[in-house]
Amino acid sequence: MGAKFLAICAAGLLVGGCFKERPKDRSAEAVQQIRLLFDNWAKAFEAKDVDRVMIMYAPNITAFDIVPPLQFQGADKYRKDYSEFFAQFSGPLHVETPNMQIEVSGDAAFAYGLERIAGKTTNGAPVDMWLRYTEGLKRIDGHWRVVHEHISVPINMATDTARLDLKP
């Protein structure tokens, strides 16, 4: 009887395991959260609000921007880069990321695409350029944060000059 009871119990556990609810795929929800994060960043960018811009970044952000130095380590250094960038513009800034792609796996994600920035510098020169971006994100304490950012522009290899005139 003991062996029969044990077999019945084992079969019950096996069958019960087959009907357990599978973990929910939360990637669609994560994509929405990440899109909202970037939407809020764009509003802060256009307002030239460094504090709101920096909400998107993890404290230990590593960023490769189009301006020197070769890399920015940490949110404080990247905050300084944003402040210096915004100071070069008078009037409103415009930013758009029309083709953002987002991939999510668990607590990690990346976003990539083309970004357009338009505005007028303090000396009155118009700026309207397209950049390439890749963002590495991590869910930290329940919030998505950028831990790695890479911004680039193509260059003309023959002249060593940036190609800021290219459009999608």
Question: What is the arithmetic mean of pLDDT over 99-124?
Answer: 97
pLDDT band at 27 (very low <50, low <70, confident <90, very high): confident
Classify burial at 111, counting beta carbons within 10 Å of its beta carbon; exposed 0-12, middle 13-18, buried 19 or more: buried
Considering only CA atoms, give the Rg of the chain.
23
Domains by residue range for the chain, with CATH: 24-162 (3.10.450.50)
pLDDT of residue 20: 53
Question: What is the arithmetic mean of pLDDT over 126-144?
Answer: 97
Q: CA-to-CA distance for 14 and 45, rounded, in angstroms?
A: 55
pLDDT of residue 26: 75
pTM of the model: 0.82
- The predicted-structure confidence for 55-110, as pLDDT tens digits, reads as follows 999 999 999 999 899 999 999 999 999 999 999 999 899 999 999 999 999 999 99
pLDDT of residue 138: 98
pLDDT band at 117 (very low <50, low <70, confident <90, very high): very high
Secondary structure in 3-state letters for the chain: CHHHHHHHHHHHHHHHHHCCCCCCCCHHHHHHHHHHHHHHHHHHHHCCCHHHHHCCEEEEEEEECCCCCCCEECHHHHHHHHHHHHHCEEEEEEEECCCCEEEEECCEEEEEEEEEEEEEECCCCEEEEEEEEEEEEEEECCEEEEEEEEEECCEECCCCEECCCCCC
pLDDT of residue 23: 52
Taking 90 as the threshold, does the pLDDT of residue 30 lie above it? yes
Q: CA-to-CA distance for 6 and 157, rounded, in angstroms?
A: 74
Specify whether the CB–CB gap between 94 and 115 falls below 8 A: no
pLDDT of residue 4: 61
Report DSSP state, residue 21.
Answer: P
pLDDT band at 22 (very low <50, low <70, confident <90, very high): low
